[in-house]
Amino acid sequence: MGGISTDLRTGLAFCTRLPVAAPSGGNLGQAAWTFPLIGALVGAVGALILWLTGPLGPFVAATLAVAATTLMTGCLHEDGLADTADGFGGGATKARKLEIMRDSRSGAYGMTALILSFMLRAGALASLAAAGAGVAALIAAHAGARAGMALFMATVPQARQDGLSAGAGTPELGTTAGAAILGLLALLLCLGVGAGLLAALLVVLVLAGMARLARRQIGGQTGDVLGAVEQVSEIVILLTAVALL
């Protein structure tokens, strides 16, 4: 139980901006199995906002729900998406791409990626809210996308020897399997068997595509790439829910 508590606090301290101090001796790679649970929590907060603001209309409620989840994570994944887009789009060499990704400023590629991400998530969620399926889909999207992060950490090598991803380490097989099982369960329970399985398959395809792109661009993964993986996976799950629910 002590190990589970340590992993949960480690995951919460990393994935959210909740007032949870990272425990001494916590290992982010070992705690990766908690990512889908924390994603479900973030999604549940967004779902609560979606429900409370429903009288304002589907689009306003969806926008506020996305804003709530963004505040919960401190724009962690959005920052990763923007940095990845800037680095992959603006750098000519691997070294230059990594240098750009470490720059806290956002360029045209990064801003465009962020605009598209927010528009797609809010638009998809508005469609789902209008159909009465927004709450479940939001929880599924956040849990499933964070399970994808754990799988990506376990299967794609680090692009550099320092930084967030390198410091986290590589999750072990049991940790990765735990994250995958929890993420799949969230998709099946929230979206149903058919839509849940299709969403899981599409997330796997996203991971494969992002893995190939990251290897070609910078030789592997970084913390920014993990953020981009979460964002793209979240969007894919929401769009799958729109198409099928």
Q: What is the pLDDT of residues 154-168, one digit of tens each?
A: 999 999 877 665 666
Confidence at residue 104, expressed as pLDDT on a 0 to 100 scale: 83
Nearest to 144 by CA among 57, 224, 238, 51: 238
- Check residue 39 and give its pLDDT: 97
Q: How far apart are CA 41 and CA 228, in angstroms?
A: 20
Residue 25's H or E segment, with its range, is none
Number of domains in the chain: 1
236 is a domain residue: yes
Residue 165 is predicted with a pLDDT of 58
Query: Has residue 113 been placed in a domain?
Result: yes
pLDDT at 2: 56
User: For 12-26, what is the mean pLDDT?
Assistant: 84
More confident residue, 21 or 73: 73
Predicted confidence (pLDDT) per residue in 40-74, tens digit: 999 999 999 999 999 999 999 999 999 999 999 99
- How many C-alpha atoms does 11 have within 13 Å on its Cβ side? 27
How many CB atoms are located within 10 Å of the residue 177 CB? 15
- pLDDT at residue 22 is higher than 90: no
Contacts of 142 (CB under 8 A, 6+ apart): 39, 40, 42, 43, 46, 69, 234
**Is residue 15 assigned to a domain?**
no
Domain encompassing residue 116: 33-244
Say if residue 25's pLDDT is above 70: no
Specify if 18 maps to a domain.
Answer: no
Model confidence pLDDT, tens digit, residues 105-148: 889 999 999 999 999 999 999 999 999 999 999 999 999 999 99
